[in-house]
Amino acid sequence: MARQTTHGKCNLCGKTFGKAAMTRHLAKCRDEHPERGQTRIFHLLVEGYRTYWLHIEIPASAKLARLDKFLRDIWLECCGHLSAFTIDRERYDVSPEPDLWTGKKDHSMAIGLERVLEVGDKFEHEYDFGTTTDLQLKVVAERTGSIKANQVDILARNDLPELLCATCGQAATQLCAYCVYEGNAFYCDKHVGEHQCSEDAFLPVVNSPRMGVCGYTG
């Protein structure tokens, strides 16, 4: 998997920045694009394996289940796997069931973000408890403004990392799920047939931390 520094475009002003610079830029850029309204809005940074990141805004009153659905839709969903948030050592499960040994039951995601989070809090999200994709989230800031209930706005997103064909060095379009952690896993359409693994091992190159996992195609 790629680990290089990535850049992305600010959707407020259209300028491009690296991951660290984007966080600093958005703090200033949002002030330069004010909105009327009195809805509490959280600014979240979502990261997956360092290379992949999102800056989003979501109403503070939105449920964790809404945030879970957004993450599934943009980065994760492949086979309807279970998922959970961990906030201050407490788990909030998409489908909570009592533990077979302790009888303890995880919390439901049907709870508002503002009830369990505040600015500066860091928390985690897991999708698929077998071949798990882990995400790290942080409440970067809070403001009041105008946003529809349950709306999630993308402030910025990383560009697709540069992944090159092992044969020709051109942009890769497919990867071998069996060899994804090796140097010869990525290929362009022209040279994908030269790889030694079977055809069903290949998945498309997509802008997601779940790329190459469990049949994920974006």
Q: How many CB atoms lie within 10 A of CB 114?
A: 14
Beta-carbon contacts of 37 under 8 Å, excluding residues fewer than 6 positions away, are 144, 145, 146, 147
- Give, as one character, the DSSP assignment of residue 75: I
CA dihedral (160, 165, 169, 173) in degrees, to 10, reads: -40
Which pLDDT score is estimated for 2?
A: 44
Which pLDDT score is estimated for 11?
A: 96
- Measured CA to CA, the distance from residue 100 to residue 113 in angstroms comes to 28
- At 55, is the secondary structure helix, strand, or coil? strand
Which pLDDT score is estimated for 18?
A: 94
CA–centroid distance for 162 within its chain: 18
* pTM of the model as a whole: 0.92
Hey, which residues does 213 pair with through a beta bridge? none
Which pLDDT score is estimated for 66?
A: 98
Per residue in 13-60, pLDDT tens?
999 999 999 999 999 998 898 888 999 999 999 999 879 999 999 999
Beta strand extents in 49-149 (DSSP E only): 52-59, 83-87, 90-93, 107-108, 122-127, 133-145
Q: Can you list the residues of the chain whose pLDDT is less than 70?
A: 1-5, 183
CA angle 11, 12, 15 (to 5 degrees): 70
Q: What domains sit in the chain, N to C, each tagged with a CATH number?
A: 7-158 (3.10.290), 163-218 (no CATH)
